[in-house]
Amino acid sequence: MSTVSSNARGPVRGRSSLWESHTFRGALVGLIPLGLLAGAVVLTLVITVLARQLVAASGFFAQQQAALITLIAGLVVAIVVYAVALWSIVRRVAAWRHDGEQAQASAVLWALCATALVVIVPVLLALLLPQHPAP
């Protein structure tokens, strides 16, 4: 009895862990665009600070221009990188669905859902957080 049950649990555990690993992998893949976006934004901010300091001696207008160009270019690059990553992952989801890897595909979609929420968090925080009342 115990042998049978032990034999029965073996494949169940194997499948379960396989399913979990697919789900985990899918979730990780789904979070790639968010990671890239966060990395690009951080990099943009760092380069903006550096650009501002590099041209500080040239005066305010040069400094403002350098910071603005860096910031806007960086944000555009961040959005492009994010969009390309999303497009590539959506294609991968379609391929997984075609191959019957539903768990992985679902996990990716849920991770993308979470990504959308994280991306909108700054606006939500600005909307919801109380500001300091002026005395």
Partner 1 sequence: MSPRTSPPVASIPPIANKSTKAGRGFRRLVAALLTLSVVLTGSYAAISIYIATQLVYPPQVPLYATPASLGLQYKDVTFPSREDHLQLQGWFIPGVLPNDGLTAERTIIVVHGNQANRADKSVGLLKLSGAFARRGFAVLAFDVRGNGESPPAPRSFGYFEQRDVLGAVDFLRAGTLPYPELGRPRVIAGWGLSMGGSALILAAGHEPAISAIVADSTAADYLPILEREVPKGDHLPALFTPGVLLAARAIYGMDFSAVRPVDVVAQLAPRPLFFIQGGADTFVPPANMSVLAAASQSVPNAHVQTWLVPGATHSQAYNTQPQEYVNRVIAFYTAALGPDTGAT
- Residue 99 beta carbon to partner 1: minimum distance, rounded to whole angstroms: 13
Q: In degrees to the nearest 10, what's the CA dihedral of 110, 111, 113, 119?
A: 170
- Residue 25 beta carbon to partner 1: minimum distance, rounded to whole angstroms: 12
Report d(CA 48, CA 37) in Å as an integer.
16
Three-class SS string for 98-111?
A: HCCCHHHHHHHHHH
Residues that bind partner 1 (CB under 8 A): 8-9, 11-12, 15-16, 19-20, 23, 27, 45, 48-49, 52, 56, 59-61, 63-64, 67-68, 71-72, 75, 79, 82-83, 86, 90, 93, 97, 102-103, 105-107, 109-110, 112-113, 115-117, 119-120, 122-123, 125-127, 129, 131-135
Where do we find the tokens 């294609």? 91
